[in-house]
Amino acid sequence: NQDEHMAVIQPNSEKTGILDEIVTIPLMDNDHKESND
């Protein structure tokens, strides 16, 4: 799952590094919530 998320974030980072940082936080939170559930 982490690999998939990274692959989705990488292209975003290339376009806009700032957006990547903002998107990484909620993405990780969602992943954790799914795992916990």
Mean pLDDT by 10 residues, the chain (37 residues): 56 57 60 59
Whether the CB-CB separation of 12 and 19 falls below 8 Å is answered with yes
d(CA 10, CA 5): 9
Residue 5 neighbours by CB under 8 Å, 6+ apart: 27, 28, 31
Domain of 22, in residue numbers: 2-36
Q: What is the pTM of this model?
A: 0.15
Q: Please count the structural domains in the chain.
A: 1
Q: What is the pLDDT of residue 22?
A: 60
